[in-house]
């Protein structure tokens, strides 16, 4: 019976996944450019959350500094495109590699701390990163803002179909997200994934069975940074700029963590779903308070009200789905399939 239920869940998941993929392939051809860019933003948010989930969900290391790795990817792409004439597509592997190296550099000293102390260390990374860009990056008007030429956002000449820049960006982000999603799936089901979970659950026991704690933690940090760097590189395709501010970098780090929790920690698909929800909830709350007629006499400006509505919606969502969207879907599916199981005949388990 357990095998039958597992097979049914697999079938349902496959059908749902194919339906979602079909809709995503159709979406850019029928929607306005602004909506396509918004969904592309949700995809690269999900990519960054996938990386953070490897570190926090599977390995148990809490980071609130991934906005810095995101910024490293964005600046790498923007500088190579703007100053050196690279194509945006060619910069993505470089951004990923550089973020990976910085992740190793941060992960090694982070071995000495854990828990809230590690969170504070990564918070320091998010705070210092904008200052470093102001010192070493020379962008528009002498600031740390780097703007890429609009021509670099167009699809490559070898791409058929006459795609618009927003459509090209969407399909590029979707393709990379599926590849990285497959990477997470392979990691968590392999030996390294088991090592990540063992370190998260009990470090002493993991060491006993031969897990190299230092190697596992540093590699988890580096892979997590790589995903964030790729997301940052993709963000340039949507916004056309790379920029870093202390509040913005910190907010990004928090939003990535929120996306992991909303979607479901230690799940493969959860961070993508969480990234989509975070972006969409922010967009809807901002639109909702852009002109609030019933509150115009009490509060003015969406900057005041939007974060409050966003926070309330997150609290309500986590109250009803404490284990995230994926966890809630699994519980619902398990309940439905259990009710559909035929009852065993009386005495069916009695040997003849």
Mean pLDDT of 202-213: 92
Mean pLDDT of 191-215: 93
Q: Is residue 350 left, alpha or beta, with left meaning phi > 0 and alpha meaning psi from -120 to 50?
A: beta
If you average pLDDT over each of 1-15, 218-232, 245-259, 306-320, which comes out highest?
A: 218-232
Does residue 301 have a pLDDT over 60?
Answer: no
Alpha-carbon span 205 to 349, nearest angstrom: 39
- Cβ–Cβ contacts within 10 Å for residue 5, how many? 15
Structure tokens at 108: 């090694």
Alpha-carbon span 249 to 67, nearest angstrom: 5
Alpha-carbon span 99 to 251, nearest angstrom: 19
pLDDT at 211: 93
Q: Which residue has the tokens 């009490």?
A: 298
pLDDT in tens, 55-114: 999 999 999 999 999 999 999 999 999 999 999 999 999 999 999 999 999 999 888 888
Cβ–Cβ under 8 Å, residues 60 and 193? no
* Predicted structure pTM score: 0.89
Mean pLDDT of 216-236: 96
How open is the CA angle 63-331-284, to the nearest 5 degrees?
60
Alpha-carbon span 199 to 193, nearest angstrom: 10
């Amino acid at each position: 019976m357990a095998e039958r239920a597992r097979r049914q869940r697999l079938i349902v998941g496959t059908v749902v996944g194919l339906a979602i993929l079909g809709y995503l392939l159709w979406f850019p051809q029928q929607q306005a450019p602004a909506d396509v860019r918004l969904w592309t933003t949700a995809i690269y948010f999900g990519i960054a959350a996938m990386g953070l989930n490897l570190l926090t969900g599977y390995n148990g290391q809490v980071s609130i500094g991934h906005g810095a790795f995101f910024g490293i990817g964005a600046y790498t792409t923007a500088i190579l495109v703007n100053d050196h004439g690279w194509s945006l597509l060619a910069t993505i592997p470089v951004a990923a590699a550089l973020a990976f190296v910085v992740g190793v550099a941060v992960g090694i000293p982070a071995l000495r701390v854990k828990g809230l102390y590690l969170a504070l260390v990564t918070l320091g990374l998010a705070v210092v990163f904008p200052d470093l860009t102001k010192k070493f990056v020379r962008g528009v008007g002498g600031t740390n803002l780097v703007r890429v030429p609009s021509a670099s956002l167009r699809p490559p000449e070898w791409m058929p179909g006459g795609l618009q820049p927003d459509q090209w960006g969407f399909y590029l982000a979707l393709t990379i997200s599926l590849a990285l999603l497959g990477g997470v799936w392979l990691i968590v089901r392999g030996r390294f994934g088991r090592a990540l979970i063992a370190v998260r659950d009990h470090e002493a026991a993991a060491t006993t069975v031969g897990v190299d704690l230092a190697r596992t933690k540093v590699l988890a940090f580096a892979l997590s940074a790589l995903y964030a760097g790729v997301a940052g590189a993709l963000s340039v395709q949507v916004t056309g700029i790379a920029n870093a501010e202390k509040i913005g970098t910190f907010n990004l780090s928090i939003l990535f963590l929120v996306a992991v929790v909303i979607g479901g920690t230690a799940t493969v698909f959860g961070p993508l779903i969480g990234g989509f929800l975070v972006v969409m909830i922010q967009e809807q709350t901002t639109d909702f308070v852009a002109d609030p007629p019933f509150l115009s006499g009490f509060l003015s400006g969406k900057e005041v009200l939007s974060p409050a509505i966003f926070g309330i919606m997150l609290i309500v969502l986590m109250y009803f789905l404490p284990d995230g969207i994926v966890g809630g879907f699994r519980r619902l599916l398990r309940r439905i399939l259990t009710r559909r199981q035929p009852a065993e005949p009386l005495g069916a388990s009695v040997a003849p």
